[in-house]
Amino acid sequence: MFYATTLALSTPLAITEALRESGVRAMCFLNAGTLSGWGVPSYSLIKSSRVAIGAGISYGTAMGKLEMTYTVPIRFGPRDVRKSAQFGFGFAFGG
């Protein structure tokens, strides 16, 4: 059993006219979730939740979205791998 949730806010990064016209966006987010076995009480799911907040920038290309983010883990487990800076690319399929 698992749950995952995200709360995100994104806005055009309008520091300069060139950034505004290019479609670069600033974003901030809060992620939470956990993974557990069946039959676990609901309070245990909440207690084992991982939570992180972050911010970054994204840029939409013809092939998909490029983004760079920086994340701060707030709640994490003893064996969790914690990576703060990330770079990602999401492909866009179809029309």
**Confidence bin at 92 (pLDDT 50/70/90):** low
**pTM score of the predicted model:** 0.74
The token pair that represents 18 in the structure block: 């060139």
Query: What is the distance between the alpha carbons of residues 28 and 37, in angstroms, rounded to a whole number?
Result: 31
- Least Cα distance to 55 among 23, 85, 34 occurs for 85
Are 74 and 53 contacting, i.e. CB atoms less than 8 angstroms apart? yes
Q: Per residue in 3-42, pLDDT tens?
A: 899 999 998 887 777 777 778 889 999 999 988 878 777 7
Q: Averaged over 71-89, what is the pLDDT?
A: 83
Helices (H) and strands (E) in the chain, counts: 2, 5
Residue ranges covered by each domain of the chain = 2-91
**Confidence bin at 95 (pLDDT 50/70/90):** low
Per DSSP, the three-state class of 33 is strand
Per DSSP, the three-state class of 2 is strand
